[in-house]
Structure 1
Amino acid sequence: MARVRNWYNQSKSATLIWFISLITFYAVFRMASKLSSSSTDLPVSNGERLKLYDKMSRDLDEHGALFLKHGETSQSLLLSDLFDVKNGSVTPVLKAANPPVRANVLHLSTEYSLPIAKAVRDVFSPTLNEVIWFQNSAVYHFSMFHASHHILPVLASKEEIEAEVDAVKSVAEQLCPMKILLDRVVLTSTGVLLGCWQVTSGTDPVNIRAKLRNALPRAPEKQLYAPAILHTSLARILGHPKNSSEETDINSELQHFHELVARLNNRIAGTKATVSELWYVEEYDVLALALDGKMNIRRFQFGCLKE
């Protein structure tokens, strides 16, 4: 009887150990699967981003400085509709967005944005101060996904907006902080100075956009940006440099812009940052995030604690 009892106790202990081991393995496996899904796509996505940034770097030479002719922005809006350039300063023209745009963006903390903004001003102010709009460093951001935009508006009631907010909050709780690296700064043909970033760890933008797509099924099918892209607007140039005249050759001006961009890259390319905040933004003015317009921001911290 004692032998049977001893065998039973040993068997019970072995079963308990086996069961605990199984549960532990399952938990670790689930956690590893969740975290690895945030990083396994990085090499592919970084390669795609590199192609996009190379193409963006050629844009100014291939299409010329369209911003000197008051051309369209990257979102099919006329520069003259967005800014007044007179009396030595640039002033945004704020127009009500009807209906308001509902954007989901990643926020770049002022810990990182302030040094970048200072470098941009230091390099570009001397010759372009009267014809440049500097992005507010407090709202440096990376556009991810629109629940509604000006090209394809999606009307929503207050209840539907609150449901979207809850869905976006749920997405944020699944995201791991992104470690990012400033690959380069480029100036586009529409006059936008862009910081173009790569991701070294964390949840990839492609996955973030996919999660937001699933969370916001009513959103426009056509979004405004490529799935892999991770860029933030630093400034917008609207006119000729101070040293230009009617006799100035356009190639000389282009060369000047290239020199400024190269100088800025020498200062800030390679900058590292961490992104860990997702915003749901209702923009009540057209391009409110870019033009310091009226907006309502809901802020959500990433829930995954992986570094």
Structure 2
Amino acid sequence: MNFTHMETTGHGTRIKQQSPNQTLMAMAPRPPSSCSARPRSPGAAVWFLPAAALLLVVLLRWQRMGSYPPVSPRGSGSVPARRAELYSKMARDLDERGAAFLRGGETSQSLTLSDLFDTGDDGAIVPRLKAADPPVRANVLHLDPEFATVISKAVKEVFLPYFDQVIWFQNTSMYHFSMFHASHHLEPIVATDAEIEAEVEAVKRVTQTVCPLKIVLDRVVLTSTGVLLGLWQVESGTDPGEIRSRLREALPRAPQKQLYDPVLLHTSFARILGHPKLPEEQSAPSFDHVKFFHGLVAQVNEKIHGFQATVSELWYVEEYDVLALALNGKMKVWRLHLGCNRQGNENS
């Protein structure tokens, strides 16, 4: 059996096939007249909690998975309704809590931008990666770059003119939907190489029973902690709740408390690190930042609301760096194709 090994750094991504016997390491105003095509120096430090940690602050306020019964994606239609209700709550977060990321945020820990990012020789922001001890073991659905690049283009067209120095865009080769953790930072569960190999085999058996998902972008939202999220509905295939349920059965040692509601299907597109660059006349203390951000999000939704994609891979990932999937860190990836065996999908 061959696995795909992916080592990702701030300089790019390398993927190669390796056998198991080999060692694997790893509304809005008019835009300003000029803008950069990529982020540069952040200037003064701002309070920032990136990627999964930012998202965690918001999502932990909704129901954690824990133990839960299998969810049928077809039938009464309650799953899409539950998903829509959850998304409506998430969309209200910015109105209810304001743009907390502009005033230091309300996070479980306070980190400065300089704690997590450096400025490279070319002026671009690069992550300051930190080793994860022990590594996080995550199961994520992967969105192919064919779809991710379309989304990223739309997001950059809207946000870059205002945040060219203080925004971090998700790597289009790493767009993913978090499903289930075999170990996470809140409840680390150390595993030997043999135990990890057994987990991979168990997850592979699950993926052989899971059908590819045809999904549609329900909406884009910006959270109070500065994370731009894509929230998705499922048109066909095995529902995320059912996938999580099968992974729970396959990974009995996994943390009982998982990080996300079982029906949630979300992707992080970008995270804002600081204040927008605005014309001087719009920078007064009375400026309505929430209205401004709603205008930008509305522009993105106008571009990509209803965007359709297909998901056909699940990745089992060891993240050797903190937030490796979000910050282009070191990781080890097993790419597992969704097989859709009839026996495992009679009700999918």
Q: Provide the secondary structure at the position in 1 that maps to 2:299.
A: helix
CA distance in 2 between partners of 1:42 and 1:297 (Å): 36
Does residue 130 of structure 2 align to residue 98 of structure 1?
no
Question: For residue 80 of structure 1, what is the aligned residue in structure 2?
Answer: 112
Deviations 1:29-62 (A, max 9, x none): xxxxxxxx96425822111110111001110111
Tell me, yes or no, if the aligned pair for 1:70 and 1:238 is still in contact at 8 Å: no
Tell me, yes or no, if the aligned pair for 2:228 and 2:271 is still in contact at 8 Å: yes
With the length of structure 2 as denominator, give the TM-score of the two structures: 0.73
Q: What is the Cα deviation at residue 94 of structure 1?
A: 1.1
Does residue 102 of structure 2 align to residue 55 of structure 1?
no
Question: For residue 12 of structure 1, what is the aligned residue in structure 2?
Answer: none
Question: Relative contact order (alpha carbons < 8 A, sep ≥ 6): 1 or 2 greater?
Answer: 2
Identify the match of residue 278 of structure 2 among 218, 243, 249: 243
CA RMSD of superposed structures (Å)? 2.3
Q: Provide the secondary structure at the position in 1 that maps to 2:259.
A: coil
CA distance in 1 between partners of 2:171 and 2:76 (Å): 29
Q: What is the Cα deviation at residue 129 of structure 1?
A: 1.0
| Further displaced range: 142-151 or 296-305 | 296-305
Does residue 229 of structure 2 align to residue 194 of structure 1?
yes
Question: For residue 333 of structure 2, what is the aligned residue in structure 1?
Answer: 297
Q: What is the Cα deviation at residue 231 of structure 1?
A: 0.2
Question: For residue 147 of structure 1, what is the aligned residue in structure 2?
Answer: 182
Q: Provide the secondary structure at the position in 2 that maps to 1:189.
A: coil
Identify the match of residue 45 of structure 1 among 61, 79, 83: 79
Identify the match of residue 274 of structure 1 among 292, 304, 310: 310
Deviations 1:112-134 (A, max 9, x none): 11110111111100011111000
Q: Provide the secondary structure at the position in 2 that maps to 1:130.
A: coil
Tell me, yes or no, if the aligned pair for 1:85 and 1:131 is still in contact at 8 Å: no
Q: Which structure's residues are more often helix, by fraction? A: 1
Change (3 A) 1:78 1:48: farther
Deviations 1:154-181 (A, max 9, x none): 0101100000000110110000111100
Tell me, yes or no, if the aligned pair for 2:141 and 2:178 is still in contact at 8 Å: yes
CA distance in 2 between partners of 1:224 and 1:215 (Å): 18
Which amino acid is the alignment partner of residue 255 of structure 1? K
Tell me, yes or no, if the aligned pair for 2:72 and 2:79 is still in contact at 8 Å: no
CA distance in 2 between partners of 1:146 and 1:305 (Å): 24
| Further displaced range: 243-252 or 124-133 | 243-252
CA distance in 1 between partners of 2:111 and 2:290 (Å): 19
Deviations 1:95-154 (A, max 9, x none): 110000000000001111111011111110001111100000101000000000011100
Tell me, yes or no, if the aligned pair for 2:215 and 2:235 is still in contact at 8 Å: yes
CA distance in 2 between partners of 1:122 and 1:225 (Å): 30
CA distance in 2 between partners of 1:273 and 1:256 (Å): 29
1:84-163 residue pairs with structure 2 within 5 A?
84=117, 90-163=125-198
Q: Which has the larger radius of gyration?
A: 1
Which amino acid is the alignment partner of residue 170 of structure 1? R
| Further displaced range: 128-137 or 86-95 | 86-95
Q: Structure 2 regions of 5+ residues with no counterpart?
A: 1-70, 343-347
Which amino acid is the alignment partner of residue 242 of structure 1? K
CA distance in 2 between partners of 1:178 and 1:199 (Å): 7
Q: Structure 1 regions of 5+ residues with no counterpart?
A: 1-36
CA distance in 2 between partners of 1:181 and 1:85 (Å): 36
Q: Provide the secondary structure at the position in 2 that maps to 1:180.
A: strand
Question: For residue 71 of structure 1, what is the aligned residue in structure 2?
Answer: 105
With the length of structure 1 as denominator, give the TM-score of the two structures: 0.82
Q: What is the Cα deviation at residue 70 of structure 1?
A: 3.5
CA distance in 1 between partners of 2:321 and 2:143 (Å): 21
Identity of matched residues, % = 59
Q: Which of structure 1's runs of 4+ aligned residues deviate more than 4 A?
A: 85-89, 244-247
